[in-house]
Chains A and B, each alone.
Chain A
Amino acid sequence: MHSSPKLQLALQLLGLAVCAGAAIAAAAMPWWSARYTEQWTIEFLYTLALAQGWNLLAGYGGLLSVGQQAFIGVGGYLIVAIAVMGGLNPFVVVPIAGVACTVLAIPMAALLFRLRGPNFAVGTWVVAEVLRLVISNIDAVGGGSGTSITDALIGIPVWWRMSTTLWIALALGAGGTLIVYALLRSRLGLALTAVRDSEAAAASLGVSVTRVKWIVYLAAACWAGMTGALIFITKLRVAPDAAFSIDWMSTTFFVVVIGGIGTIEGPIIGTLVFFVLRGLLADYGSWYLVALGVIAIVFVLFIPKGVAGLLQDLTGASMFPVQRRAPR
């Protein structure tokens, strides 16, 4: 498709205006919004954060992990270990969880990168399950039934608790999107996009595919760890089955696949679609999950590029262009 430069610019400016407007409005929510909407926004933003991380991992790095819940869970349990038991402010644990999960991801990657394709996917899940089982057997953090983290939040006024949660969610969701965008426009981004399209050809053109994968895996682990810590601050309770649940991944797959894997707008659009559908189908019980499943299958079969890919094909333009134009 030919992209007209005017349309491209218009869409880019529109995208920028909408995103900037939404981010400012979200940041100011504590002063204008109902608590219910604020909670919804927090959930939207952390879903987006997980989706952008996995999109980078699977959509660009070709690393189809189904085990990012390992880091979400570790993030959640770090709240227990450091904030509840250690007495530190739970919000300070969020960046600590990022660092801890990056470090944890190093031995995991060393192990998992020996596996290829489906084996890698299964391997990531197995590691997450192992972590779940290990934590279930530690009585100090509540064993299999988990523990409450409300103790860590006592003393923080509700307004501050909600506002800080929102702002951190904004940093993870919107900030994460910006970081991915900046990354893709950088030198590394060119390598990532090449790896996305063909690993063999990228390697033959001098791209160190393994190095690219390491960077992406560690970055996604860091992001999932911070997001996990934040998620369990909002949930007030951590239990192994919830923290290390594969459900985190099924939501993430849905969002990224519907929105458009390997694009930046994809996870944003996908998260919006997911929340709209969830709202519409909330009254239908488990039929809601059946509907999501059917939609995901239809997309995988007939619209594999997702909504974002479809829009790009129709308009030839993109809200977050990462393309480099030939000089002249």
Chain B
Amino acid sequence: MTEILALQGVSKSYGSLLVTDNLTLALNQGEALGIIGPNGAGKTTMFNLISGNVQPDQGFVHFLGREISRLAPAARCKAGIGRTYQIPHPFGGMTVFENLLVGAMFGAGLPESAGAKLAMGVLETTGLAAKANKLAGGLTLLDRKRLELAKALATSPKLLLLDEIGGGLTEHEVHDLIGIIKSIRASGVAIIWIEHVVHALLAVVDRLAVINFGRLLAEGEPAAVMANPEVQAVYLGVEAA
């Protein structure tokens, strides 16, 4: 399998606070990687480093063999990196359909008619079709989370970054979400998913990475990682023997 994303010794600090510490991580095409770690561990900063919202102080980010460490977010989106925000960022004054059209026309680079077709398809997949002409500002939390995912999908990403997309949802809603993410995976999109709802994560990902204090604590096959005593100590609060 070919590598889609590689972080090489990436570091980022805010003042004296090191939020990402010499992080090295790689992802293959079509692979799904889960990220867990305590609050403030630097998970979202890692996403920001991949999506371009934050630039690394040290190290490199490669995407599809190309170095993108200094590229702006818009350029990275066009290259094929789609992301969601932990706190949804809907375009509140635009309709749900228009929210997706932005991604389809600027991210995927489609003309309006083709973009509209793509947007409608994504609205179907994410269960938002009935709300296409509603203003995004008036959506419920579940629908905002869905819209966050739908917007990222409308950019036709090769790599999708999901930041706690399942947070605050009911058990039933999480179940629906797992179905949607599985179908995205099946279409060949590589996924990195940060999530506190661990069982949702385990239902989808091939590999799990644990981040603590901006460092990679453990990485590998999900069951093995979860059984790692060090992981249990920092993440699950179980005393290591």
Name A's B-contacting residues (CB within 8 A): 187, 190-191, 193-194, 196-198, 200-210, 262, 323-328
CB-nearest residue of chain B relative to A198? B89
CA distance A197 to B137 in the complex (A): 10
Among B13-21, B22-30, B92-100, B220-228, the stretch that binds chain A is: B92-100
Indicate if the CB atoms of A198 and B93 lie closer than 8 Å: no
For the complex with contacts A200-B73, A203-B72, A205-B154, 13 further pairs of A-B residues with Cβ separation under 8 Å are A187-B112, A190-B98, A190-B102, A193-B91, A203-B53, A204-B51, A204-B82, A205-B107, A206-B77, A206-B102, A206-B106, A208-B75, A324-B98
Q: Which among B74, B97, B101 is the interface contact of A203 at CB below 8 angstroms?
A: B74
The 3 closest A-B pairs by CB, nearest first: A206-B107, A201-B89, A326-B132
Q: Which among A194, A210, A262, A325 is the interface contact of B102 at CB below 8 angstroms?
A: A194
Q: Chain B contact residues (Cβ within 8 angstroms of A): what range? A: 35 or more
Shortest Cβ distance from B142 into chain A, in angstroms?
18
CA distance A45 to B45 in the complex (A): 49
Indicate if the CB atoms of A198 and B90 lie closer than 8 Å: yes
CA distance A326 to B94 in the complex (A): 12
CB-nearest residue of chain A relative to B89? A201
Indicate if the CB atoms of A193 and B95 lie closer than 8 Å: no
Interface 1/0s, chain B 125-148, versus A by CB < 8 A? 000000011000000000000000
Indicate if the CB atoms of B155 and A326 lie closer than 8 Å: no
CA distance A194 to B103 in the complex (A): 10
Shortest Cβ distance from B97 into chain A, in angstroms?
4
CB-nearest residue of chain A relative to B81? A204
Indicate if the CB atoms of A207 and B51 lie closer than 8 Å: no
Shortest Cβ distance from B82 into chain A, in angstroms?
8
Shortest Cβ distance from A318 into chain B, in angstroms?
11
Indicate if the CB atoms of A324 and B74 lie closer than 8 Å: no
Q: Which among A197, A205, A262, A325 is the interface contact of B77 at CB below 8 angstroms?
A: A205
Shortest Cβ distance from B76 into chain A, in angstroms?
9
Residues of B near A208 (CB, < 8 A) are: 72, 74-75, 106
Q: Which among B53, B85, B95 is the interface contact of A324 at CB below 8 angstroms?
A: B95
A-B contact pairs, 28 of them (CB 8 A): A187-B105, A190-B101, A190-B106, A191-B106, A193-B93, A193-B94, A193-B98, A194-B94, A197-B94, A198-B89, A200-B89, A202-B102, A203-B72, A203-B73, A204-B53, A204-B77, A204-B82, A205-B103, A205-B154, A206-B77, A206-B102, A206-B109, A209-B74, A210-B72, A324-B112, A324-B116, A325-B95, A326-B120
Indicate if the CB atoms of B95 and A326 lie closer than 8 Å: yes
Indicate if the CB atoms of B78 and A206 lie closer than 8 Å: yes
**A327-B155 contact given A200-B85, A206-B74, A207-B102, CB 8 Å threshold:** no
Q: Which among B90, B95, B116, B152 is the interface contact of A327 at CB below 8 angstroms?
A: B116
CA distance A299 to B56 in the complex (A): 43
Indicate if the CB atoms of B95 and A190 lie closer than 8 Å: no
CA distance A205 to B51 in the complex (A): 10
**A197-B53 contact given A326-B120, A326-B132, CB 8 Å threshold:** no
Residues of A near B91 (CB, < 8 A) are: 193-194, 196-198, 201-202
CA distance A261 to B53 in the complex (A): 27
Residues of A near B108 (CB, < 8 A) are: 206
Indicate if the CB atoms of B98 and A323 lie closer than 8 Å: yes
Shortest Cβ distance from B227 into chain A, in angstroms?
35
Indicate if the CB atoms of A205 and B95 lie closer than 8 Å: no
Residues of A near B182 (CB, < 8 A) are: none
- Tell me which residues from 38 to 54 in chain B have a Cβ below 8 Å from any Cβ of chain A: 51-53
Indicate if the CB atoms of B89 and A323 lie closer than 8 Å: no
Residues of A near B158 (CB, < 8 A) are: none
CB-nearest residue of chain A relative to B99? A194
CA distance A288 to B210 in the complex (A): 64
| B207 at interface by CB-CB < 8 Å | no
Shortest Cβ distance from B140 into chain A, in angstroms?
16
| B215 at interface by CB-CB < 8 Å | no
Residues of A near B117 (CB, < 8 A) are: 327
Residues of B near A198 (CB, < 8 A) are: 89-91
| B83 at interface by CB-CB < 8 Å | yes
Shortest Cβ distance from B87 into chain A, in angstroms?
10
| B12 at interface by CB-CB < 8 Å | no
Indicate if the CB atoms of B102 and A191 lie closer than 8 Å: yes
Shortest Cβ distance from B32 into chain A, in angstroms?
20
CB-nearest residue of chain B relative to A203? B73
CA distance A145 to B42 in the complex (A): 60
Residues of B near A326 (CB, < 8 A) are: 95, 97, 116, 119-120, 123, 132-133
